[in-house]
Amino acid sequence: MSADRPSDRPSPSPRPAEDRPVYVIGGGPGGLAAAAALRARGVRAVVLEKAESVGESWRHHYDRLHLHTTRRLSALPGLKIPRAYGRWVARADLVRYLESYADHHELEVVTGVEVNRVDRAPDGSGWLLHATGGRELTGSAVVVATGYNHTPRLPEWPGRADWSGEFLHASAYRDAAPYAGRDVLVVGAGNTGAEIAVDLAEGGASRVRLAIRTVPHVVRRSTAGWPAQRSGIACRRLPVAVVDRLAHRIARLSVPDLSAQGLPRPTTGLYSRAKEGAIPVQDVGLIDAVQSGKVLPVAAMESFEPDAVVLADGTRITPDVVIAATGYERGLTSLVGHLDVLDADGRPTVRGARTPASAPGLFFTGFTNPLSGMLREMRLDAERIARRVARSAKFSPSGD
């Protein structure tokens, strides 16, 4: 085993000389991974989670959800995901894994505490966290792991307030049962929108339409046993143009032309789009659903009328329900926006072991969605952050 990898069961070890732990904001996979990697290197890490349990966002995703990354490549530092969970881990099983992960590593998790703002400590050394209940916590470093899917994003569609039908964001969708026999429009053709559309079609909705603004790249989750994630990992060091050409050829061979059904092939490169943040849609039934007419691709959503929805091509339709799979905001502006550490889109300017020049000791993890897999990158980020923090920490013998 490499000296840079934590053991399966870290034992108590030296603590920093000054009584200032590293605070990890967020008890999801990224935060737990960072805390475990820090603890394995003898650094006290305290996880602050605003909900009452770890993995809270995963508890509220739709029931059908499985990881699009393999079990082997999705484990966090120091604990494998049980083989019994299968190759593509279900949402509920991932929640169980996160609970057992926190217990296995004996992580110091404080729930029911929301951090509202992070500032430099008054003495210029470390960080001051302002939290609920008037708490002020001082840490030697801070890892922000509040999650990629933090705040639901809803476009300001004209007329929505006057529309008479049912409307919800995809974050509120659980399963197809409430929509059996109903006409549903899903807005947004990312992985979430595509999978919800398939779930609705299989769950008995009378009609399912999928509103598409930009035609997505659709890839097979696995081809002849080879997961798309491994291709994403292999492609990371290749030139973008080369990957675009390879992906185009693979798509021609593995994905049928669905132009006649309203889902043409994209005209832009897969990797070029991924670099801009548009991750390909992994097929978990969309291709078959579109081919069979169970999911009908339509033009992008444009506006609401009291009894209709207007699409970008001028078509007026009358669904019973509109589900907005329009993504999420990172929600970091109020927390750290004043520290000059975010770009124009509200995303951290650096991540992993790198810290902003204006904010040394402030780390970010889990704010990208790469082809190589988000959980895999969280694991790598955690280990890099722990190495960086451990190198800069000063230790005194533990009294334990």
- Range with the lowest mean pLDDT among 170-174, 223-227, 291-295? 223-227
* Domains 15-150+330-396 and 153-324 in one fold: yes
- The answer to whether residue 7 scores a pLDDT higher than 50 is no
Provide the pLDDT confidence category of residue 18 given band limits of 50, 70 and 90: low
Domain ranges of the chain: 15-150+330-396, 153-324
Answer whether residue 311 shows pLDDT above 90: yes
The secondary structure of residue 182, as a DSSP letter, is S
CATH 3.50.50.60 assigned to domain 15-150+330-396? The reply is: yes
The residue count of the chain comes to: 400
Helix runs in the chain, H state only: 29-40, 56-59, 91-104, 191-202, 228-235, 240-254, 270-275, 286-291, 333-336, 374-392
Phi, psi angles (nearest 5°) of residue 290: -70, -45
pLDDT tens-digit readout, 43-96 = 999 999 999 999 999 999 999 999 999 999 999 999 999 999 999 999 999 999
Phi and psi based region of residue 264 (left: phi greater than 0; alpha: psi -120 to 50; beta: remaining): beta
Residue 202: phi and psi, rounded to 5, are -75, -20
Percent of the chain scoring above 70 in pLDDT: 94
- Residue 57 and residue 314: Cα distance in Å, rounded? 37
Which tokens go with 364?
């970010």
Lowest mean pLDDT among 162-171, 204-213, 368-377: 368-377
**Averaged over 100-125, what is the pLDDT?**
96
pLDDT tens figures, 123-178 = 888 999 999 999 999 999 999 999 888 889 999 999 999 999 999 999 999 999 99
DSSP 3: T
Please state which CATH number belongs to domain 153-324. Answer: 3.50.50.60
Tokens at 275, concatenated: 């670099």
Query: What is the value of pTM for the model shown?
Result: 0.90
